[in-house]
């Protein structure tokens, strides 16, 4: 049994739909469950349109709706098996688009765009796509039916990043989908779920990987196959370091570290259900399917496992400074709370043992919100006046995270990293190493990111 996931980058237009459908056919000797995210860029457009509706920019809303409509219409034209099927699919698409139009109207009238309504709005991307992908499978002679994941993915009501109830979802999937497959291939909507009361939720941007892994866990499949537009996990971003190589095997733990720091390869939550059921996750390239890709599993090959030099740019380093941090330990919690309560992701925290200051990294776009919250937070403000000297911001920084199970227990790796950075003239702004020793993270100025990735890669690859 295989659960395979196709993301938006593999589902751009009719041609890509059929290409992906052929890939499914190659596995036809196995039981297959397909999970899809929305058509390329549709989720972003649905969200943008929600904001336009809130601003009452009716014409722009209509223009975007038309673009979404056209995109799906073109795909239907390309993939429908016969005229009856085309009519039926066009009809289904029309009614979805009409429903969306009414929801956007509602947003304009009520003057409110809540996270709850955004979840309903974005759910249309996956719902439309699953119907179309299932039609593409039928077009090439496979039996298939679309599944709206809201019938089994049970979540809490944290709209926008809902927590999934794994056991309930597993039971419902087996009961409502798996039991009735009869050799037909279900195409399940990724990313979306529903509360016990039937209210639509989403499980976080790029959450389709996570949906695939929850389904894999539910049926204990042999492999979760994530189709992407790259050959697998690489030792660095090839745009920064052209000598980067694809890694054939990595452990779940290494993959978790990378997903957090590299962001793009796989959704961080994907690992958990796979680890619980010990299912390997394979990443393969839709445009180079004969390449074996990267396997993420419990076991990894010590000789094969490489060091991965991840990097994230576009960050700001916020430093809160003052003697109060030493005197009032709970102040650290309050500082971080002021930021996280705004739903701002903190990428790294660094605190010297003198406890005189604490530094943390956030996305540059979140900097102002973080500062406002820090200053507005009454408790913090009171303490700022008494015991915190200043809040300093260093914009335009990047994190370089050196990740690898190999790092554990190796003496001198950090030293090598620092000395190569030093001899290449890269100033280190802050550092952090988790006690798992799988990750050493360094903050540098964005302008030094490429140089830092290159010199660390060259210094360490194959040498530790």
Q: Which of 5, 8, 69, 191 touches Mg ion by CB under 5 A?
A: 8
Q: By three-state DSSP, how is residue 94 classified?
A: helix
CB nearer to ligand ASP: pick between 191 and 241: 191
Q: How far is the CB of 407 from ligand ASP (least distance, A)?
A: 30
Contact 117, 142 (CB under 8 A): no
208 near 191, Cβ under 8 Å?
yes
Both structure tokens of 221: 């499949």
Of the candidates 271, 259, 127, the one whose C-alpha atom is nearest the C-alpha of residue 192 is 127
Judged by CB under 6 A, which of 208, 286, 297, 454 binds ligand ASP?
208
Q: Does 49 bind ligand ASP (CB under 6 A)?
A: no
5 vs 438, beta carbon nearer ligand ASP: 5
Q: What stretch of H or E contains 338?
A: helix 330-340
Q: Which does 404 bind (CB under 5 to 8 A by kind): ligand ASP, Mg ion, none?
A: none
**Contact residue for ligand ASP among 10, 21, 38, 399 (CB under 6 A):** 38
In whole angstroms, what is the distance from residue 153 CA to residue 215 CA?
Answer: 9
230 binds, among Mg ion, ligand ASP, none (CB under 5 to 8 A by kind): none
Q: How far apart are the first and last CA of the chain?
A: 38
Size of the site for ligand ASP (CB under 6 A): 12
Task: Kindly tell me which of 98 and 264 has the beta carbon lying closer to Mg ion.
Answer: 264
Distance CA 42, CA 93 (A): 14
Strands (E), 25-70: 32-36
Sheet holding 223-228, edge to edge: 144-147, 185-189, 32-36, 2-6, 223-228, 281-285, 294-297, 249-251
194 interface partner picked from Mg ion, ligand ASP, none, CB below 5 to 8 A per type: none
Give dist(CA 95, CA 288) in Å, integer: 36
Q: Which of the stretches 30-38, 86-94, 421-429, 455-463 binds Mg ion when contact is defined by CB under 5 A?
A: 30-38
Return the closest-CA partner of residue 247 out of 265, 260, 225, 263: 265
Let me know: does 386 contact 416? Beta carbons within 8 Å.
no
Residue 39 or residue 177: which is nearer to Mg ion going by CB? 39
Looking only at residues 227 through 266 of this chain, which bind ligand ASP when binding is defined by CB under 6 A? none
Measured CA to CA, the distance from residue 350 to residue 367 in angstroms comes to 17
Angle at 367 between CA 361 and CA 368, to 5 degrees: 160
Residue 334 CA to residue 351 CA, distance in Å, equals 15
In whole angstroms, how close is the CB of 460 to ligand ASP at the nearest point? 32
CB closer to Mg ion, 286 vs 420: 286
Nearer to ligand ASP, 125 or 324 (CB): 125
Instruction: Enter the tokens of residue 275.
Output: 């680890």
Q: At closest approach, how far in Å is the CB of 383 from ligand ASP?
A: 38
The stretch near ligand ASP (CB under 6 A) out of 37-45, 59-67, 291-299, 350-358 is 37-45
Asked if 268 touches Mg ion (CB under 5 A), the answer is no
Q: Which residue is nearest to Mg ion (CB)?
A: 8
305: alpha, beta or left? (left if phi > 0; alpha if psi -120 to 50):
beta
Residue 133 or 191: the one with the smaller Cβ distance to ligand ASP is 191
**CB under 6 A: which stretch of 202-210, 237-245, 338-346, 361-369 binds ligand ASP?**
202-210
How many whole angstroms separate alpha carbon 235 and alpha carbon 326? Answer: 40
Among 51, 115, 205, 363, indicate the residue that binds ligand ASP (CB under 6 A): 205
**Phi, psi torsion values for 64, nearest 5 degrees:** -65, -40
| Nearer residue to ligand ASP within complex by CB, 23 or 309 | 23
Nearest distance in Å: CB 366, ligand ASP: 18
43 is a site residue for ligand ASP (CB under 6 A): yes
* From 14, 50, 125, 232, residue interacting with ligand ASP (rule: CB under 6 A): 125
Q: Is the CB of 37 or the CB of 448 nearer to ligand ASP? A: 37
Residues 6+ apart with CB under 8 A from 381: 375
Q: Which of 282, 293, 286, 252 is nearest to 269 (CA)?
A: 252
Counting Cα atoms < 13 Å in the Cβ hemisphere of 212 gives 34
x/- mask, Mg ion, residues 194-233, rule CB under 5 A, reads: ------------x---------------------------
User: With respect to ligand ASP, which residue has the nearer C-beta, 238 or 263?
Assistant: 263
Give the residue, chosen from 207, 262, 268, 322, that forms a contact with ligand ASP under the rule CB under 6 A.
207
With CB cut-offs between 5 and 8 Å by kind, which of Mg ion, ligand ASP, none does residue 268 bind?
none
Strands 249-251 and 308-321: unpaired
Binding part of the chain for Mg ion, among 37-45, 60-68, 288-296, 397-405 by CB under 5 A, reads 37-45
- Interface positions with Mg ion (CB under 5 A): 8, 37, 206
- Interface positions with ligand ASP (CB under 6 A): 7-8, 37-38, 43, 125, 190-191, 205-208
């Amino acid at each position: 049994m295989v659960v395979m996931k196709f993301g938006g980058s593999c589902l751009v237009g009719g041609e890509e739909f059929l290409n992906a459908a052929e890939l499914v056919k190659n596995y036809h000797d196995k039981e297959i469950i397909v999970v899809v995210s929305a058509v390329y860029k549709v989720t972003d457009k649905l969200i943008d349109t929600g904001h336009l509706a809130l601003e009452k920019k009716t014409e722009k809303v209509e223009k975007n709706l038309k673009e979404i409509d056209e995109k799906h219409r073109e795909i239907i034209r390309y993939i429908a098996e016969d005229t009856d099927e085309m009519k039926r699919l066009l009809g289904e698409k029309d009614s979805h688009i009409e429903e969306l139009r009414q929801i956007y109207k509602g947003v304009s009238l009520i003057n409110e765009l809540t996270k709850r309504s955004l979840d309903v709005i974005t759910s249309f991307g996956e719902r439309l796509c699953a119907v179309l992908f299932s039609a593409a499978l039928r077009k090439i002679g496979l039996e298939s039916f679309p599944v709206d994941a809201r019938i089994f993915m049970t979540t809490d009501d944290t709209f926008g990043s809902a927590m999934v109830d794994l056991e309930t979802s597993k039971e419902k999937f087996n009961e409502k989908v798996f039991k009735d497959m009869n050799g037909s291939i279900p195409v399940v909507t990724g990313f979306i779920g529903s509360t016990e009361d039937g209210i639509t939720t989403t499980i976080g941007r790029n959450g389709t990987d996570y949906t695939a892994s929850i389904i894999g866990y539910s049926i204990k499949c042999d492999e979760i196959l994530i189709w992407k537009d790259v050959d697998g996990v690489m030792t660095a971003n090839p745009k920064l370091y052209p000598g980067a190589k694809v890694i054939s095997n990595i452990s779940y733990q290494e993959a978790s570290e990378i997903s957090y720091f590299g962001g793009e390869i796989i959704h961080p939550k994907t690992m958990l259900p796979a680890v619980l059921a010990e299912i390997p996750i394979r990443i393969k390239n839709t445009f180079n399917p004969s390449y074996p890709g990267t396997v993420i599993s419990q076991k990894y090959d010590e000789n094969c496992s490489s060091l991965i030099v991840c990097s994230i740019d576009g960050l700001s380093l916020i430093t809160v400074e003052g003697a109060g941090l030493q005197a009032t330990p709970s102040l650290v919690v309050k500082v971080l709370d002021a930021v996280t309560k705004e739903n701002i992701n903190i990428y790294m925290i660094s605190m010297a043992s003198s406890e005189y200051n604490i530094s943390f990294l956030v996305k540059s776009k979140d900097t102002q919100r973080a500062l406002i919250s820090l200053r507005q937070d009454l408790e913090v403000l009171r303490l700022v006046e008494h015991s915190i000297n200043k809040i300093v911001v260093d914009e335009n920084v990047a994190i370089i995270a050196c990740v690898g199970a190999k790092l554990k227990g190796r003496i001198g790796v950090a030293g090598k990293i620092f000395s190569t950075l030093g001899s290449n003239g890269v100033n280190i702004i802050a550092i952090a190493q988790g006690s798992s020793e799988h990750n050493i993270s360094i903050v540098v100025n964005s302008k030094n990111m490429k140089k830092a990735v290159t010199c660390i890669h060259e210094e360490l690859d194959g040498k530790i």
